């Protein structure tokens, strides 16, 4: 199954399986999108479209599941340190060039760390975000402003 199908189908299957438990506990769904879900980039069309679809699902599910007491939000990370580029088969020099170029574009001057994104996922899932649903929070070091 391609990543573009997985980016839309997997969250739906997961949310569907978890819904009885989420409804019983006034739980929350936090989807993981990407800045590509609302910011186009050459070569990322299908990936971006899959993340845009996930953002639309986030807003629709927020409306549909509100009566169940379930909140639905998403985070949209910008460039974040991970093994994704290396795992894609790119040579080390290409990975270094891409990561340096991305860091230069981010106003805060660096790529995100996994903890930068995870902290917001935890906040959106927690009770202090109990009045928040249907939102997509961009966590990108200001990239969207550049």
Q: What residues are labeled active site?
A: 47
Q: How far is the C-alpha of 14 from the C-alpha of 29, rounded, in Å?
A: 10
Q: How far is the C-alpha of 72 from the C-alpha of 136, rounded, in Å?
A: 9
- Burial class (CB within 10 angstroms; exposed 0-12, middle 13-18, buried 19+) of 8: middle
44 neighbors 36 (Cβ within 8 angstroms): yes
What are the CA-CA distances from residue 132 to residues 9, 29, 58, 82, 103 (Å)? 24, 11, 12, 28, 30
Q: Where are the alpha helices (DSSP H) in the chain?
A: 3-24, 45-65, 84-87, 92-105, 114-125
């Amino acid at each position: 199954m391609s990543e573009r199908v997985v980016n839309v189908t997997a969250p739906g299957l997961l949310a569907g399986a978890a819904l009885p438990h989420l409804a019983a506990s006034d739980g929350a769904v936090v989807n993981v999108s990407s800045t590509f879900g609302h910011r186009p980039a050459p070569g990322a069309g299908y990936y971006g479209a899959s993340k845009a679809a996930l953002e639309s699902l986030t807003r629709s599910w927020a409306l549909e599941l509100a009566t169940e007491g379930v909140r639905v939000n998403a985070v949209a990370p910008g460039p974040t340190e991970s093994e994704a580029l290396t795992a894609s088969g790119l040579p080390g020099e290409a990975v270094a060039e891409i990561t340096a170029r991305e860091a230069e574009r981010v106003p805060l001057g660096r790529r995100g760390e996994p903890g930068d994104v995870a902290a917001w996922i935890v906040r959106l899932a927690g009770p202090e975000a109990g009045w928040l649903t249907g939102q997509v929070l961009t966590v990108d070091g200001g990239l969207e402003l550049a």
